[in-house]
Amino acid sequence: MSDENFVTLLDDLLSKDYCSMGDAIQPGVAVLVAIDDQIVYQRYIGFANILEFEAITCNTNFRLASLSKQFIAYGIIVLESQGKLNRQDTLKSYFSLEFIQRCPKISNTVRIQHLLDHSSGVMDYENNESLLEGRQWLDDDVLVTLKDETYFQPGSQFRYSNTGYILLGLIIEVVSEQALGDFLRQFIFESFGMKTSIVFDLDHLQIVNRAFGYAEREDNKHYCLYDQSPTSATRGDGGIYMSINDYFQWYRHCQTMMSTVFSIQNELSSSAKYYSLGWFLSNENGHTRIHSGHSCGFTHQVFRIDEEQRRVLVIYLSNINANDERLANFNRLIVDKIPQLRPKDLDLLHCLKELTR
């Protein structure tokens, strides 16, 4: 199939799924496709801010939700390359004496590597009854309420954990002696020419070109603001805002880093051979990598194929809550009709939602 043909297929599907929605002013989607590092398709539909009539563009900053995890993992690798930490270190090396005394079990048994590959077994903070108080939780709230329990022996099983990545973000702050946002800005955003990427901070809410999250009303034709929840202010598990342009910059620069300084990105732990540093992997070689992002008002997916004969990046960012049906339509089109973009391991694409709960 020619590139022109798959461009037409993508255009037709996105127009059907989004342009036929009820409101003329509605949230929408940003899509980018790159093959061999060249952008071959991009489409922007709908509004980032309905109230202000601000359209979605290549510079619109979406809350990345769990797509943020790859940047947190990269931050850990940066610190390891600087000799400031080791992925085999346990939590007791980085948290306070009060934490170690309150949580001796996880302090001595959970390692940074376990947090990275979701094999720590630490308890899900989302199940804490205190979340019902109505206020937004911060990363420190997760730390001080964490129970000294695990779902299983650390390193023995896989269980997707937002708590784990919040702890990783806090470790970055302890080791670097910088706020998480400042660290990521210095070592990723500014270094890679990512001009507007930012980490959410309740004390500094100004985010340029910000996309707000929305949810469909019961009539499935109109939308209401649905941008914040008790868990949407934590940072390490999903608090980065980024545009599709900035993400492409990250992708381009990260290729070089992965093949040089950070070749250890291909060293997968035996306990989670299909997850590494913010990505689900199709196999031990990691030729196909994929991750989703679901948060209050946002539904995302990124996948990349890194093979000798082709390199593919597909980004799908939407500021519509639980926009799973349209995303499934998008994936189905790729699987059924666009071989240039089709991953070899289709199961990974189909079961992504269940993997991340």
State whether 191 and 324 are in the same domain: yes
The tokens for 156 are: 């023995």
- The total domain count for the chain is 2
State whether 57 and 79 are in the same domain: no
State whether 89 and 216 are in the same domain: no
* pLDDT at residue number 241: 98
* pLDDT at residue number 204: 74
State whether 10 and 153 are in the same domain: no
State whether 166 and 228 are in the same domain: no
State whether 187 and 165 are in the same domain: no
* pLDDT at residue number 71: 97
State whether 98 and 236 are in the same domain: no
State whether 153 and 298 are in the same domain: no
CATH of the domain at 274: 3.40.710.10
For CA atoms 314, 319, 322, 328, give the dihedral sign: negative
Residue 59 gets which letter from DSSP? Answer: T
* Nearest residue to 63 via CA among 209, 175, 258: 209
Walk along the chain (357 residues) and give the pLDDT tens digit of each residue: 566 799 999 999 999 999 866 567 899 999 999 999 999 999 999 999 999 999 999 999 999 999 999 999 999 999 999 999 999 999 999 999 999 999 999 999 999 999 999 999 999 999 887 766 678 999 999 999 999 999 999 999 889 999 999 999 999 999 999 999 999 999 999 999 999 999 999 887 789 999 999 999 887 678 999 999 999 999 999 999 999 999 999 999 886 444 332 222 344 444 334 788 899 887 666 688 899 999 999 999 999 999 888 999 999 999 999 999 999 999 999 999 999 999 877 776 766 655 554
Cα-to-chain-centroid distance, residue 213: 16
Report how far residue 174's alpha carbon sits from residue 95's, in angstroms, rounded to the nearest whole number.
Answer: 8
* pLDDT at residue number 284: 61
Report how far residue 287's alpha carbon sits from residue 98's, in angstroms, rounded to the nearest whole number.
Answer: 43
* Nearest residue to 163 via CA among 227, 114, 201: 114
Domain housing 223: 3-63+180-355
* pLDDT at residue number 282: 73
List all residues 6 or more positions away from 252 whose beta carbon is below 8 Å from its beta carbon. 37, 192
Last-in-domain residue among 130, 153, 176: 176
Last-in-domain residue among 176, 195, 227: 176
Residue with tokens 């499935």: 220
**Is 0.75 surpassed by the pTM of this model?**
yes
| pLDDT tens string 182-228 | 999 999 999 999 999 999 998 877 899 999 999 998 876 789 999 99
State whether 298 and 338 are in the same domain: yes
Helix axes 3-14, 324-337, angle to 10 degrees: 160
Last-in-domain residue among 146, 176, 206: 176
* pLDDT at residue number 113: 94
For residues 349 and 331, the answer to whether their CB atoms sit within 8 Å is yes
* pLDDT at residue number 255: 64
State whether 286 and 326 are in the same domain: yes
* pLDDT at residue number 206: 87
Report how far residue 101's alpha carbon sits from residue 91's, in angstroms, rounded to the nearest whole number.
Answer: 12
State whether 207 and 309 are in the same domain: yes
| pLDDT tens string 131-167 | 666 789 999 999 999 999 999 999 998 899 999 999 9
Strand ranges (DSSP E) for the chain?
Answer: 29-35, 38-45, 47-49, 54-55, 62-63, 198-199, 214-216, 223-225, 240-242, 275-276, 279-281, 288-295, 298-306, 311-318
State whether 200 and 331 are in the same domain: yes
Residues composing the chain = 357
Residue 29 gets which letter from DSSP? Answer: E
